Structures are given as C-alpha cells and as structure tokens.
Chains A and B, each alone.
Chain A
C-alpha cells in the first residue's frame, strides 16, 4: 500500500540508523572525508556482512536481498542523514541498476555476487568533462579489434572511480552508445581523484588509452540502460536528499531551542520560527515526493519517468534550502569549519547538481506535462 511502510521496512530504517550512529558519527565522517579512499573498508564490510545493504536490490539468485526501490530509498535516506562516507551510491545504486538494466545475464552472474557481498566496489562512468548525464555526444570511443574492444577517451565525475574494482564505462561504439566493463587494473587506465566541493562523496576522472574492455549487453544499447538507471538513481538520490534535509531541519530546531539572545530563546522569534516552519513544509513535501516516486518505481508505474524527475528537482531544492537556512539559523557558529552545517551544505549543493539539475529535471517533466510526449 502506497505511503505505508511494512514492519520489515521500519525495522530496516531503525537498524540502519543505529548502525550509522555508531559507525558514522560526525568525527568519523570528518576523518574519512580527508582520506583519499574516502571510506572505511571495515565499516563497508559490516554494511555488507551484517546488513546486506550493497546487495539490497540485487536479486536473491545473485546473492542479494531481492528488495525493491522502497527499501533502497529507506537505506539512502538514512545514509544521507548520516552523511555516510562509503561507495554505496556508486556500487549499490548506479552499478547494480546498470547491470540489471543491461539484461546481460552472464555479466550479472559474474559481477553481482561480489557487489552484493561487499567484496567488490563498482561504479558507472557516464559523464565526460561537461558533467552531463547523457549518452549523446560521447567523445569516449570504443573500437572493436581482433582481441575485442578497446576504449579511448576520458570519463569524469565518476563516483568513487578512484577506488572501484569494477568500472562500468559508457562509450561510443560503431553501433551507438554502449556499456563496457573495465577492471581497475586494466592496462592503459589512469585514475585521478578530483578535488570536490562535497568531500564526503569522492569523484574521479578516468583516462582511457587503448583500455581493453568487455561489452555489457548489446552494442548500441547503453542509451536505454543509462536512462533506466538514472531514473531509479534519481529516486534513490531524492531519498538521500530527504535524509540530509531532515537532519538540517533537526539541527536548526534543536539549536533554536537552546540558543539565547536578548534574554529569549531564538526559536521564540518569529523570524526564526517561521524559517523553521517553512523548512518543515519543504522537507515534508520533499519526503512525500521521494516516497511517492519510490512506490512508483516499486510498482513499475507509467508515472515513474515524470515523478522521478519531479522528486529529484523538488528534493534537490528542498535540501539545499534546508542546508543554507540551517547555517543562517546557527549564525556565526554555523559558518565555522568545526560545525557540521557546511558538510550538509556541500552535500546538498553537490547532489543538487548531480544526475541532472533541478531545471533539467523540470524540463524532462515539461515534456510529459506540456508536450504530452509519450517517451
């Protein structure tokens, strides 16, 4: 039933929240964001071993939990709330969905079990230097030779691309945009960590110079694979944004109840109280949109392409506003390095611009709502 969580789903949220309070407190986020790998292998192993989370939406026959978009949304919301530093979005959302969407059973059998049990990290490399999540105008080329395919070019904005064992790379082949698997130790592959606004989620640039690669799915089939993957990833990211936005609101309200100025708690001033009330409206509306989109994905509804974009646009803007207003409500202390407000502000802005900006998603929605295009 839409908008009604099962006991198991509520339990997943509660268990994960406890786990993250223990394993991903602010001090740990701050430690990891300043390391190059950007995650703790032991925590990652526990996330897989104890909670089975990397394989949440991996079918049971490949060693996963066989859960759906609603469970994934729950997991992402909690991780967003805790700013978990881990290659979760890259592996469990982008790479898993891309492999599932590819329909390539041999690749699924080969790669998914190791992703599900956490022994392997993977990512999806779609963007090039302009950061657009599109398969049109790709400059990275795939050439078919006697020994198979080789890739040449540059992929950028690759989430956890510097630590992933398996890189799923979208490149232009003769038959059109195609998906390829590249192992991290392939000849001719260069990887460099990018300096990013959001230090809690790492991004890398990949240089490909005659890198041998394995075709996933049919040649020329990557446009559809990427489109389906992005839709589900947008829903998961929207849920992650809700978790972060809620945390920002919570921080604001907690602070407004303890900070005294002019002999009063600042939360008693309407200037602050009304900001908080408006944020609640933003956050709750974002939550409703993210959950609605998750259920639309669960039910494979025809509405999904529209509501995935509406949710991504709405949740992106709600999160950024919550993160920015959280700093404002905190005043001077909120502008310091030691306060966590900026970590959320960085994540909010970065995730707003990732997987399509709000304007781009609204334009996608306009295609359905105004042009009535049956894409």
Chain B
C-alpha cells in the first residue's frame, strides 16, 4: 500500500503507543528505535530505515517529538557517515557501522580537509600505504568537529600519487582510538574551539575498512558532500528534537531511564533542543527589541534592513518548502533545492550588517558589556563561517553554475596530470615522503 501522510502518521503513533516506555533504559530505547526503522525512517528498509520520502519521514519525527522521545545521538555519524556507508559500502561494513551509529556505540568525525586542500579537496596529501592487510596513514587533517571524542573518522587519503588527483584517493573508516592519531584543538577567530586538527603519524586502518573501492574514494566523498549540502541548507529542524548521548566514551550515560533523561534535558535547556545544526537564523525579534531599546525603531534605514533580513530568510524557507512540495508531488526538486546553503550565508551577513547598523558604537562591545547579551559580537565574529564551511560560497556558485545551469567547467590541467607533479596549497608538494 502506498504510504500517505495520514497512514504514516498513524503508523508512527501506533508504534509509539506500543513501544515508547519512559521506564526503559536509554540504551534499550535506542536499540528498540534503531531496530524498528523509526530512528531514521528515510533510510532504506533493509538498513534500519523504512524507505520513506523526506517529507513523510519529517512527519514521523513530529510524532516522536510530541512525546519528547529521544532520538539517536546527533552528529556526523547519523548525518554523513551512515548514509555514505549505506550508499557505498559492502554489506559487511554496513552491518559493522550503521546500527552502531543509531544506538550510539560510535561517534564519527570527518577527516577530509587539510591545510593544503580546502576548496580543492582532491588535492589532499595525506598518504595511506599498503602494509599487508592494513594501510599506514600519514598526514594532517583540519576542521575536524568532535575530533577529540570520535570513535571513527571518515578518512580520505591518497593511495596512488601516480595518477591524476581524483583517481588516487581512497575512503576509509579510520579507528580514532590508536597511538598514531593525535587530536589538538583548533582555536577559531571567535576565540572558541569547535574543531580540531588531527595529526596522523603511522596510524593504521584495515584494508577491509575501505568504503567503496580502492582509489574510488572521490565518488564516495561526493556522496558525503551531497548529504552535507542538504543538511546545511534550507531543510533544518527535521529530526528528533531531543537526542541521546553517544560514543564509546559516553556509553555509561545511556544507563539512565528514558524518563530521567527527558526530565534532565528539560531542566537543562542547553542540552534540550540541540538536535539541529546551530546556524545563524533570520530571526528578527532580537534586532527589533534592540532597535526599540536604542530608540532606533523609527529609523528608516533600520526598518528597511530589518525587512530585508526577514525577506531573505522567508524566501529561503519558501525555497525549501517549494522543493519539498515538488518532491512530494512525485517530481524532482527544481533548482531551488540547491540554493539553501548560498542563501543561508547571505542571511547570516544580512543579520550581521543589520545588527551592527542598529547597534552603532555599541557594536564595539562584546560579552556582558555588548548588545543582546554579547550575542551581537559573537554572531558578528561567527558570520564568516557559513560562507566558508561545507564548501565556500565560491564553490557553491561553481556547483550551481555547472550542475544546475549547465555552464562549462573551468579548464583545469590539474585534473589530468599525475598528482605527483601537482603543486598543492601553499607548499610545493606531491613529492613528500
């Protein structure tokens, strides 16, 4: 029978009625949720999902959120690693990793970017060399979220430097808890540390942990980046509002009951409702309040800029709604689906510029001395982020220009010459040990 909004909603509700039990341990609940397919109903039915299209999957989350049911641990495992493994890896690897992500046995990090390979990711220099049934990995990765606590890393490494750059890369599931992996915090321009640098010195990974084919890692990386783009764009707020702790270092936190966990999460709002990616929103409420406090809410320029912010943010939401309506109608989403990330960074800049227009000289102040309890200063410093991470605005424009509008690629000799002969990053490379 064809799934409809009401049939799916009813099915989810019935299942919750039958299975959701606050007395269960968090661990038991996560296992029950994972095995039922409701943890990620958009995944394939054979691999812990129910094969539902995105809009129907979103409806089911609302049912779970109605009872505050905790979902699988948030992070890159659920968002990127498991979808990539499902789409590209052997059944053995799927059995090893997919369920482990949903029940929280494994937290994942992404080992893609390097100091010399950002936008030109295929220029990466980290090497993996065969040693019997294993590979030995040497190199440096950067911008790694959760590096300190991750159990596995989605590693891209060069396995053949004698072929053009895209053809000599392999995608591994690298165990992070080993002597050859050193993780150091990276301090961002905001003064905070949300990322790490990862130094790989003789780290070991089994040949059986290759996701996809040897030297076929580029295509697999593209599928990960596709999952990343969709999750950074307009479609936020989909999923469980409350997510369970996970990762091998935090497993004892799953011993509490579901009921206790929910109660604790509610009394500590910091941990409640952090399921989605934290991004600058187009919310205007804070800015309207600030303008009123400073007596600037009648200033015509302030009013224009606040409305511009609201418009961009609303348009981004409407683009997303239009894309999902197209999917739902059985068609393919149009070009509007690929624009969310570019628009999100524009919204962030408009928020920053409007906020500093309103604040005037107060915009020089930060922390407790600053407007909006310091939020203005912290957002101002955070704004350059969205237009760089997950593929810079410039890379997004290339993607939109080439894949959506069908414009020709830039001629690029680096695509055909052996990696060994390439210059990469700010150093001459390809010849390092």
B residues less than 8 Å from A369 (CB atoms): 284, 288, 306-307, 310
- CB of A253 within 8 A of CB of B319, answer no
- CB of B408 within 8 A of CB of A277, answer no
Known contacts A2-B321, A284-B319, A370-B288; is-contact A277 B307 (Cβ 8 Å) = no
A116 within 8 A of B: no
Interface residues of chain A: helix, strand, loop or mixed (majority): helix
A362 within 8 A of B: yes
Among listed A43-51, A68-76, A181-189, A268-276, interface-contacting one: A268-276
Known contacts A288-B336, A289-B311; is-contact A3 B325 (Cβ 8 Å) = yes
B317 CB to nearest A CB, Å = 9
B295 within 8 A of A: no
- CB of B343 within 8 A of CB of A257, answer no
CA A291 – CA B411 in complex, angstroms? 39
Among listed B84-92, B255-263, B395-403, B418-426, interface-contacting one: B395-403
CA A278 – CA B405 in complex, angstroms? 11
Known contacts A276-B401, A284-B336, A370-B288; is-contact A267 B307 (Cβ 8 Å) = no
B314 within 8 A of A: yes
B residues less than 8 Å from A284 (CB atoms): 319, 334-336, 339
B383 within 8 A of A: no
Among listed B94-102, B138-146, B297-305, interface-contacting one: B297-305
B365 within 8 A of A: no
- CB of A278 within 8 A of CB of B307, answer no
A11 CB to nearest B CB, Å = 15
B376 within 8 A of A: no
- CB of B397 within 8 A of CB of A278, answer yes
- CB of B311 within 8 A of CB of A310, answer yes
Which chain A residue shows the least CB distance to B284? A369
B residues less than 8 Å from A270 (CB atoms): 394, 397-398, 401, 410
CA A269 – CA B398 in complex, angstroms? 10
A residues less than 8 Å from B300 (CB atoms): 363
- CB of B410 within 8 A of CB of A4, answer no
- CB of B339 within 8 A of CB of A281, answer yes
- CB of A1 within 8 A of CB of B343, answer no
Interface residues on A, range: 35 or more
CA A14 – CA B51 in complex, angstroms? 34
Partner of B325, one of A1, A310, A313: A1
B308 within 8 A of A: yes
CA A191 – CA B396 in complex, angstroms? 53
Which chain A residue shows the least CB distance to B309? A369
- CB of A273 within 8 A of CB of B398, answer yes
B residues less than 8 Å from A1 (CB atoms): 325
A residues less than 8 Å from B224 (CB atoms): none
A221 within 8 A of B: no
A257 CB to nearest B CB, Å = 7
Partner of A268, one of B315, B346, B396, B407: B407
- CB of A277 within 8 A of CB of B314, answer no
CA A231 – CA B291 in complex, angstroms? 28
B322 within 8 A of A: yes
- CB of A267 within 8 A of CB of B401, answer yes
- CB of B304 within 8 A of CB of A359, answer yes
B residues less than 8 Å from A2 (CB atoms): 321, 325
The digit string for B314-350, where 1 denotes a CB below 8 A from any CB of A, is 1110110110011011000011100100110010000
B406 within 8 A of A: yes
CA A143 – CA B291 in complex, angstroms? 47
- CB of B401 within 8 A of CB of A362, answer no
B404 within 8 A of A: yes
- For window 290-337 of A, CB contacts with B under 8 Å fall at 291-292, 307, 310, 313-314
- CB of B339 within 8 A of CB of A280, answer yes
Which chain B residue shows the least CB distance to A252? B405
A residues less than 8 Å from B401 (CB atoms): 267, 270, 273-274, 276-277
A365 within 8 A of B: yes
B residues less than 8 Å from A264 (CB atoms): 408, 411
B residues less than 8 Å from A314 (CB atoms): 311, 315
B285 CB to nearest A CB, Å = 10
Known contacts A269-B410, A276-B401; is-contact A285 B307 (Cβ 8 Å) = no
- CB of A291 within 8 A of CB of B322, answer yes
Which chain A residue shows the least CB distance to B322? A3
Known contacts A257-B408, A362-B308, A363-B300; is-contact A277 B318 (Cβ 8 Å) = no
Partner of B307, one of A269, A280, A289, A366: A366
CA A291 – CA B321 in complex, angstroms? 11
A265 within 8 A of B: yes
A residues less than 8 Å from B328 (CB atoms): 4
- CB of A276 within 8 A of CB of B308, answer no
B residues less than 8 Å from A274 (CB atoms): 394, 397-398, 401
B281 CB to nearest A CB, Å = 15
CA A292 – CA B336 in complex, angstroms? 14
Partner of A285, one of B321, B343, B402, B411: B343
CA A133 – CA B308 in complex, angstroms? 22
- CB of B319 within 8 A of CB of A365, answer no
- CB of B284 within 8 A of CB of A265, answer no
- CB of A366 within 8 A of CB of B396, answer no
B residues less than 8 Å from A281 (CB atoms): 339, 342-343, 346, 400
Q: Which residues of B contact A (CB under 8 A)?
A: 284, 288, 291, 297, 300, 303-304, 306-308, 310-312, 314-316, 318-319, 321-322, 325-326, 328-329, 334-336, 339, 342-343, 346, 394, 396-398, 400-402, 404-411
Which 8 A-B residue pairings sit nearest by Cβ, starting from the closest? A273-B401, A288-B318, A3-B325, A267-B407, A277-B397, A285-B315, A277-B400, A366-B303
Apart from A253-B407, A370-B303, what 15 extra A-B contacts exist at CB < 8 Å?
A2-B325, A267-B407, A270-B397, A273-B397, A273-B405, A276-B407, A277-B400, A277-B405, A278-B397, A288-B319, A288-B336, A291-B318, A362-B308, A366-B307, A369-B284
Return 14 A-B CB contacts under 8 Å, by A number: A2-B321, A267-B408, A268-B410, A273-B405, A273-B407, A276-B401, A277-B396, A285-B319, A313-B307, A314-B311, A362-B303, A369-B306, A369-B307, A370-B306
